[in-house]
Structure 1
Amino acid sequence: MKRLLTLLFLWCFLQSSYAQRGTFTQTFMKDLEYRDGTYTANLKQNVFGDLIFTDSKGNAYTYEQKYLNKHFSEIGSGLEGKRKFMKELIRKSRRERDYQIRYSIDIFGEESIRDNRGYQAKKGKDIHGEYFEESDGEFKTAIKRNFRGELEYQENDFSATLGKDIFGKWSYKDSDRNEIQFSQVTWYRLLKRFGSDKDILWFMIDKMFALNEKGGYGAAH
C-alpha cells in the first residue's frame, strides 16, 4: 500500500513539474511562448479577445472571449494570469496529440464545447428553463424542462421524467416502467439533502442504473 501511494505521489509530482521546468517567454505582441526540449507551446490572443493555445504535438485549444469572461475571469489581461492558465493547458496537452477543442458562447447565451473527436456539449436556457446536451458520437445525453415544468432526461434509448401533478405530488417515471410517487415528507427530505429537483433526478437515475446492473429491480407501480 505504501509503495502504491509513493508511486501515485511521484506521478502527480512529475505531472505538476512539467510546466515548471520549461521556459516561458513573452513576445512583442504579448503572447506567451513555452519551450521544454523539443516540446513547444504558444498562447495567443486574437483581435476578438479569444485565447488560442497550440503546441508542437498538434493540439489546439480555443477559448472564445465570452466563455473566458464567464468561466475564467481570473485570468484577466495580466501576464501572471495567462501564465497560470497556460500551465494547466500544458499539463493537459502532454497527454494528447492532434487534439482540437473550442469553447464558445453564442449571441443567445448558449455555451458550446466541440472537439475534433466527435464530442460536443451545449448548455443554455429557453422559455422553459435550463437545458444541457452532450454527445460523443456514440452516446447522447440531454436534460431539459418541458412545457409542463417537468424535468426530462434522455440517454440514448433510456428516458426519465421528474415532475409534479395538478395536486402538487412529485413523481419519478422512466422508460423501464418504473414509477415512484413521493409523499410530501419524503420530497422535502430529498430537497433538503440534494438542494434541487435536478439533483434529485440525477440521484434517482443513478439508483435505477445501479439496481439495473445488479439485476435487482422490476417495474414499480
Structure 2
Amino acid sequence: MKHFCFLLFFSVSLINAQKIDKNLFGNYEYQSKNKNFSADLKKDIFDNIIYTDNNNNEIIFEKKYVSKFIPGLFKNEGYSIQFFRTQIRTFANDNNYKQKFEIDILGKEIISDNRNNTSEAKTDIFGNYQYVDRYNNESTSISQDLHGNWNFKRGNQTASLEKNFNSTYTYKDSVNNILEINSAAFQKLKNKLGGEKEVFFFLIYHFLD
C-alpha cells in the first residue's frame, strides 16, 4: 500500500511539474518528459470539450453540460489548466476508456461510458429530483416523492429524509440510525451545504456509507 501511494504521489508530482502548452488553436496539450504519454484538451466546432490521450481514452463534455456545470472551461485559463491536469491524473493509467457527459433535449443529465456504467439525473414535472446510477452492475437511486421527501436505495441499503408537520426533519436508514433535526439546525445545514439534496447526501455519507 505504501509503495502504491508513493507511486501515485510521484506520478501526480510529475504531472504538476510538467508544462501544459496552448497551441495555435487555443487548445491545451501535455507531453511527459519521457514522451511516453501525451494528452490534449480541445474545444470542437460545436463547443464540446474533449479530452484525449495516447492511451486511447476519450472523455466528451457536451456543450450544454459544460455551460451548466463547468462554465469556466476555455474561459479561465487557470481553471482550464487545473481541469486538464485532473483529467490527466484520472486517466493516465487507464486504457481504451470512453465517457460522455451530456444533457438531453428534456434536460436530463446523462453520464455514460463504454463499460456499461450510466448515471441519469432529472427534475420531474412536479419539480422533484430523480437520480439513478448503475455502476459495476449495482444500482443506486435517489429521489423525491410527491411530498418532497427524499429516498435513497443501493442494494440492501436504504435511507430517507422526511419533513414533519412541525417543520422538523427526520432522517432514517437501514442500519437503524434515526436523527431528528429541528428547523433552525436544518436551515443552517442547507445554508452551509447548498440545499436539501446536499443535506441528504451529507447524512447518507456520514451515517450509512
TM-score (norm 2): 0.73
My pick for the range that moved more, 118-127 or 61-70, is 118-127
Contact 1:128-1:147 at 8 Å conserved across structures: no
Name structure 1 gaps, 5 residues minimum: 211-221
Q: Which amino acid aligns with 1:154?
A: K
Q: Is the 8 A contact 2:101 2:112 kept in 1?
A: yes
The structural deviation recorded for 1:73 is 1.8
**What's the RMSD between the two structures over aligned residues?**
3.6
Counterparts in 2 of 1:146 and 1:26: CA distance versus 1, 3 Å = same
Moved more, 201-210 or 158-167: 201-210
Q: What is the rounded CA distance, in whole Å, between the counterparts of 2:46 and 2:15 in structure 1?
A: 30
**Is 1:188–2:183 an aligned residue pair?**
yes
1:124 alignment counterpart = 122
Decide whether the 8 Å contact of 2:59 with 2:98 is kept in 1: yes
SS where residue 65 of structure 2 aligns? helix
Q: Which runs of structure 2 are paired with 1:1-221 in the superposition (5 Å)?
A: 12=9, 14-18=11-15, 20-21=17-18, 24=21, 26-27=23-24, 29-36=25-32, 37-77=35-75, 82-126=80-124, 127-164=126-163, 170-173=169-172, 180=178, 182=180, 186-188=181-183, 190-192=185-187, 194-195=189-190, 197-198=196-197, 201-202=200-201, 205=204, 209=208
188-197 or 152-161, which deviates more: 188-197
Count, aligned residues: 200
Cα offsets for 1:159-210 (capped at 9, x unmatched): 333324567664445567x59584xxx5236415633554554465456647
C-alpha spacing 1:170/1:22, structure 2 compared with 1 (3 Å): closer
In terms of Rg, which structure is larger?
Answer: 1
Residue type of the alignment partner of 2:12: Q
More displaced 10-residue stretch of structure 1: 10-19 or 91-100 = 10-19
> Within 1, Cα distance between the matches of 2:22 and 2:82?
13
Partners of 2:93 and 2:7 in 1: CA distance: 17
1:11-61 per-residue CA deviation (whole Å, 9 max, x = no partner) reads 53641332543663515x444443331222223322211111111111111
Post-superposition offset of 1:143:
1.2
Check the 8 A contact 1:104/1:113 in 2, yes or no. Answer: yes
* CA gap 1:149/1:95 in 2 versus in 1, 3 angstroms: same
Distance in 2 of aligned mates of 1:75 and 1:45: 9
- Tell me, yes or no, if the aligned pair for 2:169 and 2:186 is still in contact at 8 Å: no
One-letter identity of the residue aligned with 1:161:
S
2:39 aligned counterpart, secondary structure: strand
Structure 2: runs of 5+ lacking an equivalent: none
> Which range moved further: 10-19 or 123-132?
10-19
8 Å CA contact 2:119–2:132 kept in 1: the answer is yes
